[in-house]
Amino acid sequence: MTDSASSRARQTRIVHPDLDLAPGFESFSTPVMRASTVVFPDLAAVRSADWRSDAQWRYGLHATPTSSALTQRLAQIEGGKHALLQPSGLSAISNVYFAVVKSGDDVLIPDNVYSPNREHGNWLAHDFGVSVRYYDPMMGKDIADLIRPNTRLIWIEAPGSVTMEVPDVGAIAAAARSHNVVTAIDNTYSAGLAFRPLEHGVDISVQALTKYQSGGSDVLMGATMTNDDALHSELKRARMRMGIGVSVDDCSLILRSLPSMKARFEAHDRSALALAHWLKARPEISVVLHPALPDCPGHAEFMRDFSGAGGLFSVIFDERYSPAQIDAFVEALELFAIGWSWGGAHSLAMPYDVASMRSASQWPHRGTLVRFYVGLEEETDLRADIERAMTVTLG
């Protein structure tokens, strides 16, 4: 302690403590470094600070060592160079729109897209003068026929998060690149573990870290990953202008869960596939939409490009059952909760009105769709729960 410090009042010394911490402490966890104010060593550092540089600390909203540790790990998992964090998966989708698209541009969105993405696109079309069109997710390279001179962005979802078709991602990305169109994919389904879209020519990968990365059904966060320096800069600029940031405490929860993510994903995958095979033989079910099953649209692309499926799949009940009966079935389940956000330990079930999501000409199935998310319960108990609920409600 300096002489001047020792003469300061107690309150000042509380605010400006003179600590002597022993060096050499090390643990497996990433330190949680919270900040709004980032302290600069001198004014020269202030005046030379550049928001475009990921190597400079400027303000807590933009990054701290804790959030930077998470972005680096996410980029490594995805096989990317850059990653940015947002407070939800939808915020990450929004960040792509506002970074890439302006009034007068055209956007192509798959017809089976995650519904908040569809609603965001419709909002841009209605209020911001953006042309938004929906395409058959299975058209592959033929998407080139839809590209216009003002087409700026093509969204991909692999597979569709409710209807489960797996598109030919590489063919769509190649067609877009040949016309200088940016591609962005919602890659939440694979968590970057079972599919790495940047290696298939996609420009931006979007993840909802709320799902498998969290694993606890208790954190909201999203991210964008890219290898393109210019796109990363535009994404970062848009995020900065909108004042978007994330809690480093939430970052620490994601960081804590990442080491177990692959093991959890594979456990979900095993149980979900076993349950899908069992449901395929049930008379109550007309179709099982699981990408690893041969009759799921895009199965060949899935087997070529993916190494796993995780815990999410859908089924179509026989059309003899009314939507009210299927609702009763879902409500009769005991181990499958009713909820939207999957990726945690608890199984979920949700009925969907596909007619509100898909063009009738592109959806061949009759009957009510239920999407299952298979958690970490024993698969035999989940099977028994479904069978009991079917018996009680469907006869």
Q: What is the pLDDT of residues 110-162, one digit of tens each?
A: 999 988 999 999 999 999 999 999 999 999 999 999 999 999 999 999 999 89
Tell me, what DSSP letter sits at residue 22? Answer: P
Per-residue pLDDT, averaged over 203-213, amounts to: 97
pLDDT-based confidence at residue 3 (cuts at 50, 70, 90):
low
**What is each CA distance from 360 to 177, 320, 371, in whole angstroms?**
30, 19, 19
Of residues 367 and 357, more confidently modeled: 367
User: Which tops the pLDDT comparison, 25 or 68?
Assistant: 68
The whole-number pLDDT of residue 194 equals 97
Nearest Cα to Cα of residue 113 among 173, 186, 171, 207? 186
Beta bridge partners of 157: 186
**pLDDT tier, 312 (very low <50, low <70, confident <90, very high otherwise):** very high
Q: For 303-311, what is the mean pLDDT?
A: 98
DSSP state of 68: H
pTM of the model: 0.94
Give the pLDDT of residue 53.
85
User: Which residue do the tokens 């160079």 mark?
Assistant: 81
Size of the chain in residues: 395
Q: Which residues contact 69 (CB under 8 A, 6 or more apart)?
A: 30, 251, 255
The owner of tokens 């035999």 is: 380
Residue 360 scores a pLDDT above 80: no
How confident is the model at residue 365, as a pLDDT?
87
- Whether 361 has a pLDDT exceeding 70, the answer reads no
Distance spanning both ends of the chain, measured CA to CA = 80
Strands in 285-289's sheet, in edge-to-edge order, are 285-289, 312-317, 369-373, 348-352
**H/E element holding 134?**
strand 131-135
- In this prediction, residue 298 carries a pLDDT of 97
Q: What is the pLDDT of residue 171?
A: 98
**pLDDT for 54:** 82
pLDDT at 1 exceeding the cut of 60: no
Q: Are 212 and 191 in contact (CB under 8 A)?
A: yes
* Section 103-107 average pLDDT: 98
User: 239 falls in which pLDDT band (50, 70, 90)?
Assistant: very high
Beta 285-289 vs 312-317: how paired, if at all? antiparallel
Q: What is the pLDDT of residues 13-49, one digit of tens each?
A: 888 888 888 889 888 989 899 988 999 999 999 999 8
Span 292-296, mean pLDDT?
Answer: 96
What amino acid is encoded at 213 in this protein?
Q
Which pLDDT does position 56 carry in this prediction? 87
CA distance to 63, 82, 239, 367, per residue, from 251 (Å) = 11, 17, 17, 41
Q: Which domains does the chain have, with CATH numbers?
A: 55-255 (3.40.640.10), 260-394 (3.90.1150.10)
Task: Count CB neighbours of 167 within 10 A.
Answer: 27
| 20 Ramachandran zone, left/alpha/beta (phi>0; psi -120 to 50) | beta
